[in-house]
Amino acid sequence: MLAPTFDHASSLGRELVDDSAGKCRRRLLAEGRLAQYAEKAPGAIFWQATDMHGTSPLELVRRAAGLHPKLFAPALKRLEKLDRARLHRIVGRVPEDWMSELARDFAVELMCYTLAQLKRITP
């Protein structure tokens, strides 16, 4: 059985700031680079021992589900119950003094992108 994953703070843009000249949420959203951010975010699992960087969580699921489709099928099927409204409600429960409105929007957009990609894997 698959184990759930936890602590995806960096993959939700925790290290980003709302506004700045550098890498920030507003710029990534405005420039349409959310997908690039989601696909590029490294994880802590290395696909091969020779890899220089960890595989992104999204790519890790793609690869592993391709190798073990029966193992991933039940977990991926459960994603059908998730949609933008539900993700928005979940993020909305985070206290206001913990996340800016832009951070909330970014997190929801990022999760919606990831959810759409994961739904494409569903057997």
Across the chain, the runs of DSSP E, i.e. the strands, are none
pTM for this model (two decimals): 0.85
Q: How far, in whole angstroms, is CA 5 from its chain's centroid? A: 11
pLDDT digits 0-9 by tens, 59-101: 989 999 999 999 999 989 989 999 999 999 999 999 999 999 9
- Band (pLDDT 50/70/90 cuts) for residue 10 is low
Asked if the model's pLDDT at residue 9 lies above 60, the reply is no
Domain locations in the chain as residue ranges: 19-121
pLDDT digits 0-9 by tens, 26-44: 999 999 999 998 888 777 8
Which DSSP category does 94 fall into? S
Asked if the model's pLDDT at residue 2 lies above 90, the reply is no
For residues 50-69, one letter each, b for 16 or more C-beta atoms within 10 angstroms of the residue's C-beta and e for the rest, the string is: eeeeebbbbbbbbebbeeee
Which two three-digit tokens encode residue 19?
């506004």
Q: CB of 37 within 8 A of CB of 107?
A: no
**DSSP string spanning 39-50?**
HH---SB-SSTT
Which two three-digit tokens encode residue 83?
């949609």
Q: List the one residue out of 75, 85, 71, 70 whose CA is nearest residue 118.
A: 75
Q: CA–CA separation, 61 vs 80, rounded Å?
A: 16
